[in-house]
Amino acid sequence: MTTPHKYMRLWLLILLVLPTIGCSEDDTTTGPDTEPTSGDGTYAIVDTGLTDSYGNDAVIATPAEGAAFYGQDAQYAGNQPSYLDNGDGTVTDQVTGLMWQQDPGAKMTLAQAEAAIGSFDLAGYGDWRIPTIKELYSLILFTGTDPSGLPGDDTTGLVPFMDDVFVFEYGDPVTERIIDSQYLTSTIYVSTTMNNDATVFGVNFADGRIKGYPITDPMTQSGKTFFALFVRDGDGYGVNDYVDNGDGTITDLASGLMWMEQDSGHLGAGDASDGGLNWEQALAWSESLDYADYSDWRLPDVKELQSLVDYTRSPATHGTPAIDPIFETTPITVEDGSSDFPFYWSGTSHVNYLGGSSGSYVAFGTGYGWMQAPTGGTYNFWDVHGAGCQRSDPKEGDPADYPYG
């Protein structure tokens, strides 16, 4: 499949069914009253918080079953966010069991965070750690508004992508962009990004994305600074426990989610029978699918989808997508003519401050993008944000309108 521009690389990934633990074949339970999934409790995925429904851009009335855009994130209730302010500078996530530092304080580099964690003591606990990307991503809520493109630096009326129980700051407009509110993790990218830069994954709670960030700022040649929320408890959170059910489905016992073993490319979905679907098509295909004697498949929300990422893998280092090889992922041809692996749609809309929305996706292939030199001129086709990044793109459109993404 030749895909000249990045958002056309979005394919529909492996789908899931709820509930799975104790589910019988031909269970057709669907819709907003679906109970949260039950697993062994080690990887409870917190819902995105979205309650509004969206079309290709704007908010729409809740679609009826069978109507266009039915089956998106807002129509399926998962484990609803629930936080306990412990009154001692810590917050407990009552879904995941993770305890968090409430106020990140001043920004720090990865090296500074690694040095600080050894002696960090808060509320009488000394077993704090830098969170993994899956631990930190558990905090993201898609009730936020992305300020990207906002003229000026007035953040009045903006909503960050995290609960207000946490202390949050936008970037200082005097020295950086207001979207520079990246939070640090301990997950180092197994490959490199940009111009072969060593990279750490972080979550941006200002604009609602996972990206890989160079550990050393290429502009200043000093350590890039992040906010850091240290975490404790919840050992084993984010670790998958897959079982091959022998019928074309995979169950993650840790999260309780059942997934299709093959993606839409293997099943010949879409107008070209190659698996490529726009967002509306992806929703419709998911809802109408009868596969492995189950008929209650749906498009995963973006946090469920991200739970599948294997951050120990990348196409550059392993020749595989960033997912356990128990799944069958369709290879594609990317913009420079090389072979790689797709980005995958979620059912989650990513909302801009103007009220419009794009579709959230996860890159299991290389997090490619076109990067132009600061002085202009030539565009470089680089791994900008790493395999396993979560970004957003238009839900439909002509790829010719996006020659550089």
Query: Among 205, 19, 25, 192, which Cα is nearest to 104's?
Result: 205
Q: Quick check: 25 pLDDT over 80?
A: no
For 59-98, how does the pLDDT look when each residue is reduced to its tens digit (9 = 90+)? 999 999 999 999 999 999 999 999 999 999 999 999 999 9
- Identify the band that residue 349 occupies on the pLDDT scale cut at 50, 70 and 90: very high
Predicted structure pTM score: 0.92
Check if the beta carbon of residue 334 is closer than 8 Å to that of residue 47.
no
Q: Which residues pair with 381 in a beta bridge?
A: 370
Query: Among 156, 157, 142, 132, which Cα is nearest to 48's?
Result: 142
Instruction: Determine what percent of the chain is predicted with pLDDT higher than 70.
Output: 90
Backbone angles phi and psi of 353, in degrees to 5: -60, -20
Position 138: which residue type?
S
- Alpha helices by DSSP H, listed for 249-368, are 279-288, 302-306, 315-318
Check if the beta carbon of residue 289 is closer than 8 Å to that of residue 16.
no
**How many angstroms separate the CA atoms of 219 and 217, rounded?**
5
Q: Quick check: 398 pLDDT over 80?
A: yes
Q: Quick check: 26 pLDDT over 90?
A: no
Mean pLDDT of 149-175: 94
Cα 43 from chain centre: 15
* Paired tokens of 133: 């990307």
Angle formed at CA 157 by CA 154 and CA 160, multiple of 5 degrees: 95
Q: Quick check: 208 pLDDT over 60?
A: yes
What is the sign of the dihedral through the CA atoms of 361, 362, 367 and 368? negative
pLDDT at site 235: 85
Residue 378 CB contacts under 8 Å (≥ 6 apart), including other chains: 372
pLDDT at site 30: 39
pLDDT at site 201: 98
pLDDT at site 10: 61
What is the sign of the dihedral through the CA atoms of 80, 351, 304 and 133? negative
Query: Among 351, 309, 257, 12, which Cα is nearest to 136's?
Result: 309
**How many angstroms separate the CA atoms of 30 and 328, rounded?**
26
pLDDT at site 39: 66
